């Protein structure tokens, strides 16, 4: 039965202690590659079958409907942690490069880093207080952290940087929208729920990093199923 194949695939995936969260699209590709999908005489979608499979759980990111994780029953926290990490990486990816630099650049210990929000977001380094600028508290900075590619950051660094920037914004009443690299761009997470992404397939591509989206390969029948998801 297809349910047995699904549970076996999920158990095999998580038998590796370093395995990342398994996505519905990845499960569909594995089943397709091994000749288990689509099942004969079964009109149910993969989502419906997984939901009816004992021993596994399906966890959705409520902010991105195309991000659907599959885990063993009782291990839902694995998916929740992956979703939380994903939100943090998207937030940092959208933060202005100038602000990221303000939190990570190495400077003379006798000088401070300041952020200017207007007319254009930038930072400056000065030993004296800078008018119309906001101090980046020294305890919130991580000098020397390489943020050239958020995807390469270790989880601990992602968590610390995300927390530091949010703490700074809350402490100085800075609107999160004022620190994004392109303020007129719709929020990446919200964008996946509006009319710009009208079906599951479009939403799946919308939530991927640009580099990954270009390399993403989805079996035709799975793509059809996603395209029908509203």
Six-digit token pair at 159?
Answer: 């968590």
Nearest to 73 by CA among 44, 52, 46, 42: 52
Cβ pair 103, 124 in contact under 8 A = no
Six-digit token pair at 14?
Answer: 């998580």
Nearest to 218 by CA among 1, 24, 10, 18: 24
CA count, 13 A, side-chain hemisphere, 61: 27
Six-digit token pair at 110?
Answer: 């006798």
Task: Give pLDDT, residue 203.
Answer: 54
Task: Give pLDDT, residue 13.
Answer: 97
Got the DSSP string for the chain?
-HHHHHHHHHHHHHTSTTPPPEEHHHHHHHHHHTT--SPTT----HHHHHHT-TTEEEEEETTEEEEEEEEETT-HHHHHHHHHHHHHHHHHHHB-HHHHHHHH----TT-EEEEE-SSS-EEEEESSPPTT-EE--GGG--TT---S-GGGS-HHHHHHHHHHHHHHHHHTT--GGGGBS-TTSPPHHHHTTSTTS-SHHHHHHHTS-HHHHHH----HHHHHHHHH--
Q: Please, which residues bridge with residue 57 across strands?
A: 71
Please state, as a whole number, how many other Cβ atoms lie within 10 Å of the Cβ of residue 92. Answer: 18
Task: Give pLDDT, residue 8.
Answer: 95
Task: Give pLDDT, residue 184.
Answer: 37
The torsion defined by the Cα of 196, 201, 204 and 207, in degrees rounded to 10, comes to -20
Q: 106: which residues sit within 8 A by CB, 6+ positions away? A: 143, 144
Single pTM value for the model? 0.73
Question: pLDDT tens digits for the chain (230 residues)?
Answer: 899 999 999 999 999 999 999 999 999 999 999 999 999 888 999 999 999 999 999 999 998 888 999 999 999 999 999 999 999 999 999 999 999 999 999 999 999 999 999 888 999 999 898 899 999 999 999 999 999 999 999 999 999 999 999 999 999 999 998 998 655 344 444 333 333 444 555 555 555 554 555 555 666 556 556 555 55
Q: How far apart are CA 196 and CA 216, in angstroms?
A: 20
Backbone angles phi, psi at 136, to 5 degrees: -95, 105
């Amino acid at each position: 039965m297809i349910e047995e194949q699904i549970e076996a695939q999920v158990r095999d995936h998580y038998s590796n202690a370093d395995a990342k969260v398994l996505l519905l699209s990845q499960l569909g590709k594995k089943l397709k590659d091994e000749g288990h999908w689509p099942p004969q005489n079964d009109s149910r979608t993969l989502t419906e079958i997984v939901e009816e499979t004992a021993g596994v759980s399906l966890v959705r990111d409520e902010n991105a409907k195309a991000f659907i994780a599959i885990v063993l029953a009782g291990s839902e926290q694995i998916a929740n942690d992956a979703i939380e990490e994903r939100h943090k990486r998207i937030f940092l990816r959208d933060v202005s490069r100038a602000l990221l630099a303000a939190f990570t650049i190495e400077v003379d210990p006798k000088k401070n880093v300041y952020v200017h929000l207007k007319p254009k977001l930038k930072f400056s380094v000065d030993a004296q207080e800078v008018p119309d600028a906001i101090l980046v508290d020294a305890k919130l900075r991580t000098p020397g952290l390489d943020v050239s590619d958020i995807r390469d950051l270790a989880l601990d660094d992602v968590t610390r940087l995300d927390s530091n920037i949010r703490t700074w914004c809350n402490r100085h009443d800075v609107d999160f929208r004022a620190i994004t690299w392109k303020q007129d761009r719709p929020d990446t997470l919200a964008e996946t729920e509006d009319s710009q992404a009208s079906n599951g397939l479009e939403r799946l591509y919308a939530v991927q990093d640009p580099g990954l989206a270009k390399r993403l390969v989805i079996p035709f029948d799975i793509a059809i199923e996603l395209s029908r998801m509203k």
